[in-house]
Structure 1
Amino acid sequence: MSTSQLEKMQDQVEIPEGVTVTQNKNMLLFEGPLGKTHKNFRNIPVHIEIADGKVNLKTIGEKKRDYAILHTARSIIRNICEGLIEGYTIKMKVVFAHFPITVKVEGKKVLIENYQGERAPRSTHIMGNTKVIPKGEDVILTGEVWTDITQTAANIELKT
């Protein structure tokens, strides 16, 4: 394998100011102005090292799949760092034709009441540290980890 191909099989992610990243085996711990979170890379075949304010990533293999996995790991780390600095927000709209739907939050569950006139409320799980705020016809999801927010939105969508 040529040196240019080997260079493609490794990548670096700059750690932005205000975010600290520590490593515990395959677990990366992130701390930033908006909070802290962790990501387990145990099932992702990428070698991770932290040095000089950068996260160094190297693939274990040399195939296209390994190259794709490398860039997936890079994107996950970048998104977590960005979320800890700026945060993420998703706005969902509650739309109904006849039966008025109400959305409530109880602990780590979202309750969707009166969906199509059903008597029993539908419930779904809130992922991670996502905050769900129902405001009239809008449901606002905020948090630091993009995957948790989008999975919570998908959970709500699947129940309706």
Structure 2
Amino acid sequence: MQAIVVKEEVEIPSGVEVKVEGKKVTVKGKKGQLERDFSFAKGVEISLLDNKIILTSTFLKRKDKALVYSVRRHLMNMIDGATKGYRYYLKIISTHFPMNVKVVGDEVQITNLIGEKNIRRIKIYPGVKVTVKGEDITVEGIDLEKVSQVAANIETKSKIRGFDKRVFSDGVFIYNKEVLS
């Protein structure tokens, strides 16, 4: 069944500046500035009214209605990132060989994973900060997609294939994520 009109609102907190130019939205807060193009959301109109971002669309099917809510969530994540920021926590687990993880320039390097000689390299996106202290890795930044993608890339690159997972539990694993305050 089609929904005739869907209208969603996103409240803009104080201290956040939002600019809408067509389908391009810029959010500026105390932590930084995020910009995103929502041209993929055909049929969704984005506008500013008072202290709210208004999303409207008409004659929607199920997938189109889901798209409106996805755009709403992206805008909320942008506001949270510009005001607070995001942080992911990863843990280095090495039971057989002492694994080394270090940040070199704009990449994370994993060496000696189950005794391998090759270096596994993970690119760090601009605006994302990675720190390694002992067995803990912290990935933080203001763009949720970049922060979560860097953390996921680190976890994926350290996966071991071809060994029994019950015996070889080595790797780097995400164990916590949070919105900073």
C-alpha deviation, 1:118, in angstroms: 1.6
Change (3 A) 1:123 1:62: same
Change (3 A) 1:128 1:43: farther
Deviation string 1:25-55 (CA, Å, 9 cap, x unpaired) is: 3221111001111111121222211221211
Moved more, 55-64 or 11-20: 55-64
TM-score by length of 2: 0.80
CA distance, structure 1, for counterparts of residue 82 and residue 26 of structure 2: 12
CA RMSD of aligned residues (A): 1.8
Hey, what does 1:16 align to over in structure 2?
13
C-alpha deviation, 1:74, in angstroms: 0.5
Task: From the two aligned structures, give the one with the greater strand fraction.
Answer: 2
Q: Which runs of 5+ in 1 are unaligned?
A: none
C-alpha deviation, 1:59, in angstroms: 2.8
Task: From the two aligned structures, give the one with the greater helix fraction.
Answer: 1
Change (3 A) 1:114 1:61: farther
Hey, what does 1:95 align to over in structure 2?
93
Out of 68, 80, 86, the position equivalent to 2:84 is 86
Q: SS of the residue aligned with 1:58?
A: strand
Out of 61, 66, 76, the position equivalent to 2:64 is 66
Deviation string 1:71-122 (CA, Å, 9 cap, x unpaired) is: 1110111111112212111110000111111211223211111112122211
TM-score by length of 1: 0.89
Hey, what does 1:47 align to over in structure 2?
45
Q: How many residues align?
A: 157
Report 1:147-158 matches (<5 A): 147-158=145-156
Hey, what does 2:4 align to over in structure 1?
6
C-alpha deviation, 1:23, in angstroms: 1.9
| Structure 1 outlier segments of 4+, above 6 Å | none
Q: Which runs of 5+ in 2 are unaligned?
A: 159-181
